Chain A
Amino acid sequence: GMFMSERWPRGILNKGFGRQRSDAGAAQRPSRGEAELNGQPPRAPQVVTDSEEEEDEELTLKYGAKHVIMLFVPVTLCMVVVVATIKSVSFYTQNDGQQLIYTPFPENTDTVGERALNSVLNATIMISVIVVMTLVLVLLYKNRCYKVIHAWLFFSSLLLLFFFSFIYLGQVFKTYNVAMDYLTLALIMWNFGVVGMICIHWKGPLRLQQAYLIMISALMALVFIKYLPEWTAWLILAVISVYDLLAVLCPKGPLRILVETAQERNEPIFPALIYSSTMVWLVGMADNSEPRNNSVPAQSESQAVPMTPTSPTEDDGGFTSTWVNQQQHQLGPLQSTEDTRREIQQMPSARPPVEDDDEERGVKLGLGDFIFYSMLVGKASATASGDWNTTLACFVAILIGLCLTLLLLAIFKKALPALPISIAFGLVFYFATDNLVRPFMDQLATHQFYI
């Protein structure tokens, strides 16, 4: 089931950054955090005054930088995992002759023209599959078929966490010639998978959840690297960036429609599709079996988070790739109504006063972005003859692209696609480094000249 690929929210990146001070700063330490809004009536979006704006610029720079780093680290980790695997486990670079059903045309043809044609056809099929999937999702979401969506997500992460990790582990054992019995393996896989499902769909320690998200993104990227033939892969990367741009920014784009629908309904986003750098803590986590209702103050798109956690089994909110809101699912099925929260809120609290909210607003990046970034770098390290230079160049290019995207995000404060700039830089640097820089550096290294 490669259908999973499309449900990963490619390319929309949204920071919980914004003008609203009423946001839930996601806090990692329980003593901080949003909760100011708990139990209180929702505040209308604040009108930003000029002085606030100027003051914000300075803070924005510092905290913006912090958020950029909070995304650099996981993206780097994911890429490192993918590159390390590609370089050591030969399985993922072997051409077994198998291809995905979405890319049926082979690339080992006789002529260049035929190969080009095949890759274009492959890319077209793959992209249309993705577009269709997105549209199906939009439809499902608009018709409130949350159960279907949720079952789909659940099944996909199940497949990834068990099946693909099993294959990965098997290949790693083969590479390092580790003897392993099925019983131990079953135990390991069971634990890994179940803990993963719990962390991703329910609640778990933040770091563990982030680690799992990185791991499944890396696994997915590795699958793509293995099964997509070369030209097809590059074409798909290029086209998907364009699609991302259109889907997020055009008024009729499916992802934008999703975002707007989610906003209208004041619903939070799907769990398990986003990487979030921080966690939301609630004061007085009231355990209530009532389903989450829309008593949560709605926030506008580029601002932060509703306070209530969402129960994954009941209401998933919208699939949006904008990550407007913080992930509440990390907190588990904590459902509280306004009344209970108000009660708790009014109890004397031993918390220190909340300091600056800005610091604790997290940043979110869709897992699809992780996957495609890692796929680019992995493909670069797998196929480039310039080897490490090309990989390094692509790595730096992607990070800079991400930085620029975040900068734009801070400027425009609306949902932005995270793929186009980074992938564009990555592709340019891949081809340029592989074809231009590599011969130059090789010659220099031969003579031991230094520049």
Chain B
Amino acid sequence: MTAAVFFGCTFIAFGPAVALFILTIAREPLRVIFLIAGAFFWLVSLLLSSLLWFIVVQLSDQQNAAQQKGLLVFGVLLSVLLQEAFRYAYYTLLKKANEGLLSLSQEDTMPISIRQLAYVSGLGFGFMSGAFSVVNILADSVGPGIVGIHGDSQHYFISSAFMTMALTLLHMFWGVVFFEACEKRSWLHLSLVVCSHLLVSCLTFVNPQYLGSLIPTFVLLTVWAGWAFTCAGGTLRNLSLCLTCKDKDFLLANHHHRSR
């Protein structure tokens, strides 16, 4: 335990997200602000869902363990739905703000495109979701202890870390596809995002059978990665150009006046 587990799990859980942040977002103040605003929206959705869950729990029989678990499941589903609702709310807010700014400014491109906003807000949601899921666990992993001494799984920390990483990245992909679906009014895609989120959360109900939850989640992660990549305008050609460093206009960096 202690330091090795702590650092290992932290880097697993937050590595990709932080790398994305540092490489693509940290230099642009506007993106940072929208990231934090996205995190805030996720937080508000969590607050609402916890409030509702709390009320329901208070009204129920607190001694009945099965009922409590059922209520928890209900809480999870409610929370997922609320998160997606707030994602939609954030999208509407951004759209309105962007339109307002566009009409005011004399330039015909916005300083930040809706696709960038999709990416950034998705990552904001992901950061906050990941942080809330795993930070307390990480804090506990620093101290002394034995994992699974009462017969629970010994892979608690590392599975949490992997799950968090998957969820963070998934949130980002969902954000991209969601905004695109809203732009194109494709309700099918939108409902797919929501269903996928529900599916991932429901998969975690089989924990601690980590094989049952982690593997499908990672499969979904790759699927959504591909979909989000296509949604954002990526093609195999772009990818090969980018990887061989022949593309001067990198996908998200150096985006100044190209409207996407």
A contact residues vs B (CB 8 Å cutoff): 51, 54-55, 57-58, 61-62, 65-66, 68-69, 72, 386-389, 392-393, 396-397, 399-400, 403, 429, 432-433, 435-437, 439-441, 443-445, 447-451
In the complex with contacts A387-B136, A441-B136, A443-B72, A400-B37 CB distance below 8 A: yes
Q: Is B137 a contact partner of A445 (Cβ separation < 8 A)?
A: yes
Cα–Cα distance between A396 and B32 once the two chains are bound (Å) = 12
Most buried by A among B40, B79, B131, B163: B40
Q: Which residue of A lies closest to B72 (CB)?
A: A443
For A440, what are the chain B residues with a Cβ–Cβ distance below 8 Å?
Answer: 49-50, 53-54, 75
For B137, what are the chain A residues with a Cβ–Cβ distance below 8 Å?
Answer: 445
Q: Is B101 a contact partner of A451 (Cβ separation < 8 A)?
A: no
Q: Which residue of A lies closest to B200 (CB)?
A: A450
For B139, what are the chain A residues with a Cβ–Cβ distance below 8 Å?
Answer: 387-388
B contact residues vs A (CB 8 Å cutoff): 29-30, 32-33, 36-37, 39-40, 43, 46-47, 49-51, 53-54, 57, 68-69, 72-73, 75-76, 79-80, 83, 101, 104-107, 111, 128-129, 131-133, 135-137, 139, 156, 159-160, 163-164, 167, 200-201, 204-205, 207-208
Most buried by A among B83, B128, B133, B163: B133
For A451, what are the chain B residues with a Cβ–Cβ distance below 8 Å?
Answer: 46, 49, 76, 79-80, 83, 129, 133, 201
In the complex with contacts A403-B37, A448-B208, A451-B129, A437-B163 CB distance below 8 A: no
Q: Is B207 a contact partner of A65 (Cβ separation < 8 A)?
A: no
For B201, what are the chain A residues with a Cβ–Cβ distance below 8 Å?
Answer: 449-451
Q: Is B32 a contact partner of A397 (Cβ separation < 8 A)?
A: no
Q: Is A58 a contact partner of B105 (Cβ separation < 8 A)?
A: yes
Q: Is A62 a contact partner of B30 (Cβ separation < 8 A)?
A: yes
25 of the cross-chain contacts (CB-CB < 8 Å) are A55-B106, A57-B104, A62-B29, A62-B30, A65-B29, A69-B33, A72-B36, A387-B139, A429-B47, A436-B47, A436-B54, A437-B47, A440-B75, A443-B68, A444-B72, A444-B133, A445-B137, A448-B156, A448-B163, A448-B207, A449-B72, A449-B73, A449-B204, A450-B200, A451-B83
Q: Which residue of B lies closest to A428 (CB)?
A: B47
Main secondary structure of the interface of B (DSSP, over half): helix
Q: Is A392 a contact partner of B33 (Cβ separation < 8 A)?
A: no
Q: Is A396 a contact partner of B136 (Cβ separation < 8 A)?
A: no
Q: Which 7 pairs between the two chains have the least Cβ-Cβ distance?
A: A58-B105, A65-B29, A448-B207, A69-B29, A440-B50, A65-B30, A436-B50
Q: Which residue of A lies closest to B166 (CB)?
A: A450
Q: Is A437 a contact partner of B105 (Cβ separation < 8 A)?
A: no
Cα–Cα distance between A68 and B36 once the two chains are bound (Å) = 12
Cα–Cα distance between A389 and B204 once the two chains are bound (Å) = 21
Other A-B pairs beyond A61-B105, A448-B156, 9, CB < 8 Å: A65-B32, A72-B36, A389-B136, A433-B47, A440-B75, A441-B133, A444-B133, A449-B201, A450-B201
CB distance from A414 to the nearest CB of B (A): 20
Q: Is A388 a contact partner of B136 (Cβ separation < 8 A)?
A: yes
Q: Which of the residues B57, B111, B136, B205 comes within 8 Å of A445, measured between beta carbons? A: B136
Q: Which of the residues B32, B39, B80 comes within 8 Å of A69, measured between beta carbons? A: B32
Q: Is A389 a contact partner of B156 (Cβ separation < 8 A)?
A: no
Q: Is B167 a contact partner of A450 (Cβ separation < 8 A)?
A: yes
CB distance from B22 to the nearest CB of A (A): 14
Q: Which residue of A lies closest to B202 (CB)?
A: A449
For A450, what are the chain B residues with a Cβ–Cβ distance below 8 Å?
Answer: 133, 163-164, 167, 200-201, 204
For A66, what are the chain B residues with a Cβ–Cβ distance below 8 Å?
Answer: 29
In the complex with contacts A429-B47, A448-B207, A403-B33 CB distance below 8 A: yes
For B135, what are the chain A residues with a Cβ–Cβ distance below 8 Å?
Answer: 388-389, 392
CB distance from A259 to the nearest CB of B (A): 28
CB distance from B72 to the nearest CB of A (A): 5
For B53, what are the chain A residues with a Cβ–Cβ distance below 8 Å?
Answer: 440
CB distance from A340 to the nearest CB of B (A): 38
Cα–Cα distance between A393 and B160 once the two chains are bound (Å) = 21
